[in-house]
Amino acid sequence: MTIYFSVVFLIFGMVLGSFYNVVGERLPNNESIVKPRSHCPKCGHQLQAFELIPVISYLFLKGKCRKCKSHISIFHPIFELVSGILFMISYLVFGMSIQLIIALTFISILLITIVSDYKYMIICDEVLIIGSFFLIIELIFERGFAGTGLSILDGLVSFFLMYLIKKIGDFFFKRESMGGGDIKLMFTFGLVLGVLNSILSIFLASIIGLPISLLLLHYKKNHEVPFGPYLSIAAIIILLTNFNIIDMYLI
C-alpha cells in the first residue's frame, strides 16, 4: 500500500503543482486564476485536456506549442515534477495523519511563493492569509486551542524578528534590504516550524542562496535576487527532515 499511495501522492502533487504554477503566475498580475483557460502566451492557443497533463504533455509535445511551435519553458514540467516528489516525500515522512495535511498545506503555500517571488518579486498576501487560515484550523485538530495559541505566538515572534533583521539590513545597506512579503512569510514559518527553526531557515536560506545569487549577479549586474524562494526551500528541507533544533541540543 505504501507504493500505491506514494504514486497517488506523486500524481496528486504534480496536478496541484501545475495549478500552483498558474496561481503564482496570475495573482501578481491581478488576473483570475480561473479565466481565461490555460493558453500559449505567444499565440493565445487554448490548451486542450491532453495538453495539460503534468510533465507528460511537455514530453509528448517536445516542449513546443502544438499551434505555433514556440518553445515552452522547461520550468513548467520541472516545477510539476518537484511538486509531485515533495507531496510523495511528505506522505512517506508523515503517513496518513493530520501532520501530513499540515505539511501539504505548508508546502503548497511555499510552492506558489517560489513561482510568484521568482518571476515577479511578489509574495501574494492572498496566499499567505488563506494558507495561514487553513493551517490554524489544521493545527487546532493537531495541537488543540492552547497549542495552536502558542503556535500563533511563534508566528508573531518570527514575524517581528524578521522585521528587526530587515531594519538592521536597511541601516547597513542604506537601501531596502528585504521585501515585506519575506517578513509576512515568517509568520507562516513560525506557525508550522516554531521560532527557532524559523530563525534556522533564514540562515539555511542564506547558505543556499548565496552561491546562486553571486552567479546571477555575475551575469546580470543590476539583477535583484528574491529571497522568498530560498526561504521556502530552506523551510521545506527543515519540515521534511523533521529537524528540531531543540532536540539537537538535548542529545
187-246 pLDDT, tens digit each:
999 999 999 999 999 999 989 988 877 776 666 656 677 889 999 999 999 999 986 655
Say how many C-beta atoms besides its own lie within 10 A of residue 74's C-beta.
10
Closest CA to 118 of 212, 219, 199: 212
Residue 251 has pLDDT above 50, yes or no: no
Mean pLDDT of 125-145: 96
pTM score of the predicted model: 0.91
pLDDT score, position 245: 56
The overall longest dimension of the chain from CA atoms, in Å, is: 61
Residue 108 has pLDDT above 50, yes or no: yes
From residue 131, give the alpha-carbon distance in Å to each of 113, 126, 134, 185: 11, 8, 5, 11
Phi, psi of 67 (to 5 degrees): -90, -60
Domain residue extents for the chain: 1-96, 126-251
Mean pLDDT of 47-56: 81
pLDDT score, position 249: 47
